[in-house]
Amino acid sequence: MAKRKKKHDEHIDESWLIPYADILTLLLALFIVLFASSSVDSQKFQQMMNSFNSALTGGVGVLDMPSPVDPVNPVSTSPIGGNADIQLVEKKKYEQQMNFLQETEKLEQLKQQLDIYLEENSLTGKLHTKVTEAGLLITIMDNALFASGSAQVRADAKELASEISKLLEPDGRRVTVSGHTDNVPIRNSQFSSNWQLSSQRALNFMTILLENKKLDPRNFSAIAYGEYHPTASNDTAEGRAKNRRVELAILRNFEKEKTE
């Protein structure tokens, strides 16, 4: 009896591997594009694109198109570190701090010059100088400039104003002149309130400063505070004497860096 022939095994259809391989290739290309898009190194992206396209055949390569990232220049390294935006902010803060410190040194030198003049002319008890965050503050007691209840600058005080004006020449800084009084009401033929007295005193002193033609009047302003910015208690005669004053503020060009 003849043996039955075994049927040949059916051939397995592997045609699905072709589109599957294409899908994998496309997915690989997609991940490479996504990775390259997240990288700021356009040079490495270009090298990757060339290598990948050389491995593929036929037609235009998947990555053979304009780069999804704009070429950027390498950011110079600095001790500050961080990305470009943070570096820029930190650089500005550093420059602001350095400008503030350099300006403080200049104001200290200006203060020393004025202090020497005050000591030589025995005015240390009537004038006080102080470098603050706002600038150089020169406090002049009212009895160094005016008679009681008057806004007329005394003749001997004009020399002081002239010396101060010379110190203001080099830098051309902004200057404010403010008048202050105690809380004792004033009513005379010239002034009906402390507002008017403080205003006129500040204006008269500023006018004498501006007799120096080397100064720019646009940098000056006069302010009246009356009795409302005391530095001492008005309950005593000594405190009231401290409150009657003219303050000349030589303002900074650079502010101190603000910390949160």
Assign 3-state DSSP to the chain and report helix, strand, coil percentages, each to 5.
Answer: 45, 10, 45
> What pLDDT, on the 0 to 100 scale, is given for residue 96?
86
Domain spans, the chain: 18-55, 103-251
Q: Which pair of structure tokens corresponds to residue 155?
A: 């003749």
Q: Is 21's pLDDT higher than 90?
A: no
The Cα 33–Cα 220 span in angstroms is: 62
- CATH T-level assignment (fold) for domain 103-251: 60s Ribosomal Protein L30; Chain: A; (3.30.1330)
> What pLDDT, on the 0 to 100 scale, is given for residue 135?
95
Q: Is 225's pLDDT higher than 90?
A: yes
Question: Which tens digits make up the pLDDT trace of 167-204?
Answer: 888 878 899 999 999 999 998 889 999 999 999 999 99
3-state secondary structure of 223: strand
- pTM (predicted TM-score): 0.64
Q: Is 59's pLDDT higher than 70?
A: no
Give yes or no for a contact between 61 and 50, defined as CB atoms under 8 angstroms apart: no
Could you say which DSSP state residue 200 is in? H
> What pLDDT, on the 0 to 100 scale, is given for residue 48?
62
